[in-house]
Chain A
């Protein structure tokens, strides 16, 4: 029973740390609008 509790405690702590790391490490993505247009000659602008 004691071993089972320890295992559950370890899993719980690991889950919390993993969850925090997952959310904290996400780089914020700036919102933007627009798109890519292929450049063509003669001036490639």
Chain B
């Protein structure tokens, strides 16, 4: 009997909950949020497999096979730390660079306790890392990985993106860290309807890619400015939130030829993040078509086999495209 605890029932958590209760091989999904009454009601709407939990960040975790964490930064770190201490595999969708760094620091403890910690289980970092791994397998040697994302999944995500974009950025250039105090905006072409957006180099997610692709000399991540919500416009029930997109470019060599592979995803940001988080948590306990077990703290590029993962995501409605074209001047 596989039991998963989902902590955090915001925009991402709700989508992850729906995915988890519909995953074959998961018998029980424990839901934990900050309002008991709301959680009990939500558990009823998610059917027989869902159950309300009174877990709070900082408490001891209940007996489960995996934890999916959809909380903002500090709370996320508390839950992941507890999971590592108790030896329970955990998936986190935190996307802020300081949070990812704090979680990466748990690596030695996770390895010594034989626990797998999956970081950056969202659109980017997350699905973008899987696509980078998939693209890299098409080359003999990879020279450069570039990831860009547009879109946020909830207020905490908007705050995180704004903080990332306004902070000095670090990318991996020529095999070393390079800092830029005020990165310039650059246009990135996402699939329609997102299209061309100004994006700025950020630090978030770069370290996970550098860890997963040792030897690749250049790795960079860019983020687009979050959309401003129009004053007076409230979200309606059933609203899937704003559209988001990611674009992954991998440059490398096949024989003597230098080539590029470009992948893109367009989806509601919260839906994509919730689906990736749920699938990763499911695979941490052997459900969802594969088993993830690699003790330590890793991004998805180091944890999942891309093709079956992409197939499972496609069956859940999250689809990937490739760009076929060329610059003409």
Query: Which residues of A pack against B, CB within 8 Å?
Result: 27, 29-45
Contact = CB atoms under 8 A, between A and B. Distances in A.
B181 interface: no
Given A27-B185, A27-B187, A27-B198, A36 B322 contact: yes
A23 B260 CA distance: 32
Contacts of B310: 39, 44
B323 interface: yes
Given A27-B187, A31-B329, A38 B319 contact: yes
DSSP majority for the B interface?
A: strand
A34 B324 contact: yes
Interface in B288-329: 306-307, 310-311, 314, 319-329
Contact of B321 (A30, A32, A37): A37
B196 A29 contact: yes
Given A42-B307, A45-B138, A35 B324 contact: yes
Contacts of B306: 44
Contacts of A29: 187, 196
A41 B261 CA distance: 17
A37 B319 CA distance: 11
A20 B45 CA distance: 57
29 contacts: A27-B187, A27-B198, A30-B327, A31-B327, A31-B329, A32-B189, A32-B325, A32-B326, A33-B326, A34-B324, A34-B325, A35-B323, A35-B325, A36-B264, A36-B321, A36-B322, A36-B323, A37-B321, A37-B324, A39-B263, A39-B310, A39-B322, A41-B307, A41-B311, A43-B307, A44-B134, A44-B307, A44-B314, A45-B138
